[in-house]
Each structure stands twice: as structure tokens, then as C-alpha cells.
């Protein structure tokens, strides 16, 4: 078998194979490696709390997640109404990405039927002023900016976005101004806020 194979190739055939092997051995190969590091921009703060509201409450202010220090919160500063330290979420951006956060009240509007007002605003802990304090953030109607909104209307399934620039670390708090004037039901209501970070 080997003799037939050698005869078929001949001397020239063997020389060609030998040349190809030599060329293959002489090739220089380069490689590049990419290390992929997932980076977490968004941290949720407290996720549960409870409020007591009263029939004929008008233009009352509360904060989500509430006044307390449930698991998940640390202390950016005292909440605006003087309660314990808390925050709704924190965003940390590096020099590579900014971040927008979608804020949506996912509670069915029917659950809030006895409220005549449920306005959602966003506060952030500002350390560039003295003394540091919670100040109102700009709410937009689109992740890229768009039009400013005075608030997110919780009674209509509304939503909004805040934007945070690169190389910034900020704590956020959700401020709710409500009026409970259209009924005397004592049935508990569960209100859920959803936050979606969108790196930009």
C-alpha cells in the first residue's frame, strides 16, 4: 500500500507536501483576549414599607419606600419629612456610560380609585450644596431626554425617566403627593413601583 502511495506521489509530490508542512510550521499566529466585566449601575434600596392614609387627606406628602430603614437601605441623609434615613434606589455611573432610569407605577389604576391625586416626583441626595439635602430631579418623558414632566401621574398609568450623567454616584427617593378624598373604604391597597435602569 505504502509503495503504491509513494509511486503515485512521486518525488515531486513528496517535495510539495514537505514544502507545505514547512510553510505551515513557519506561520506566526497572533491571538487577542477580551476580559468582559459586568458592571452594576443600579442598586435598589428599601423594597417594602406601609403607610396609613386618612379619609379627607388633602395634598399629603409621603416617600417611597417609606420612613424607616428596611433591609437594603443605607444612610444618604434624613428623608425630607424628618424621618429615618432611607432611599428608593442608587445609581453609580463610570466614565464610560451614563444611565437613565424608567420609573413606572405598576399598580392598576383601579386600585387607586379613591385617590383624587397621586403625583410622583423624584428627589436626589445633593452633596454639592451646603448643607447636603434632597432636591427635586428633572423627570423626562423619554430615556434620551425629551420633554420635562412636572410629575408622574399615578392615577393614569403614567411613567417617566430620570437621567444621570457619567462619573456620578447618587441616591434617589420617590416623593408622593396624594389626596384621599373620594371614599371611606378601609381595604388595604398595595402600590408597586418599578425601576428599570437603561445604560446610555
The 10s digit of each residue's pLDDT in 94-119 is 999 999 999 999 888 888 888 999 99
Strands 57-64 and 42-44: unpaired
Q: List the beta bridge partners of residue 177.
A: 61, 119
Tell me: the pLDDT tens digits for 52-89? Answer: 888 899 999 888 766 554 444 555 666 666 566 678 89
The H-assigned helical ranges of the chain are: 2-26
148 Cβ contact partners less than 8 Å away, ≥ 6 residues apart: 138, 139, 140, 141
Predicted local distance difference test score (pLDDT) of residue 159 = 96
Our count of domains for the chain comes to 1
Tell me: the pLDDT tens digits for 144-185? Answer: 988 999 999 999 989 999 999 999 999 898 999 999 987 777
Percent of the chain with pLDDT over 70: 77
| pLDDT greater than 70 at residue 133 | yes
Residue 108 lies in a domain: yes
Predicted local distance difference test score (pLDDT) of residue 118 = 95
For the CA atoms of the chain, what is the radius of gyration?
Answer: 31
What is the span of the domain harbouring residue 122?
A: 42-199
Predicted local distance difference test score (pLDDT) of residue 94 = 93
Predicted local distance difference test score (pLDDT) of residue 71 = 46
Closest of 163, 59, 53 to residue 103, by C-alpha: 163
Residue 37 lies in a domain: no
Residue 33 lies in a domain: no
- Cut 0.75: pTM above it: yes
Phi, psi of 4 (to 5 degrees): -65, -40
Residue 143 lies in a domain: yes
Residue 163 lies in a domain: yes
Predicted local distance difference test score (pLDDT) of residue 182 = 77
Predicted local distance difference test score (pLDDT) of residue 125 = 87
Amino acid at each position: 500500500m505504502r509503495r503504491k502511495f509513494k509511486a503515485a506521489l512521486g518525488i515531486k509530490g513528496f517535495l510539495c507536501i514537505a514544502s507545505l508542512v514547512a510553510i505551515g510550521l513557519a506561520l506566526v499566529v497572533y491571538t487577542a483576549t477580551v476580559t468582559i466585566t459586568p458592571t452594576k449601575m443600579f442598586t435598589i434600596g428599601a423594597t417594602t414599607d406601609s403607610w396609613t392614609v386618612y379619609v379627607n387627606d388633602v395634598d399629603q406628602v409621603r416617600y417611597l419606600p417609606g420612613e424607616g430603614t428596611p433591609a437594603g437601605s443605607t444612610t444618604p441623609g434624613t428623608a425630607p419629612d424628618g424621618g429615618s434615613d432611607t432611599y428608593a434606589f442608587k445609581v453609580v455611573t463610570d466614565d464610560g456610560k451614563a444611565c437613565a432610569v424608567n420609573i413606572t407605577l405598576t399598580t392598576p389604576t383601579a386600585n387607586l380609585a379613591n385617590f383624587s391625586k397621586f403625583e410622583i416626583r423624584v428627589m436626589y441626595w445633593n452633596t454639592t450644596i451646603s448643607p447636603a439635602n434632597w432636591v427635586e430631579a428633572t423627570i423626562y418623558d423619554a430615556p434620551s431626554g425629551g420633554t420635562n414632566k412636572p410629575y408622574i401621574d399615578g392615577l393614569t398609568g403614567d411613567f417617566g425617566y430620570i437621567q444621570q450623567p457619567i462619573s456620578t454616584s447618587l441616591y434617589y427617593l420617590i416623593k408622593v403627593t396624594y389626596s384621599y378624598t373620594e371614599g371611606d373604604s378601609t381595604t388595604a391597597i398595595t402600590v408597586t413601583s418599578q425601576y428599570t435602569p437603561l445604560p446610555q
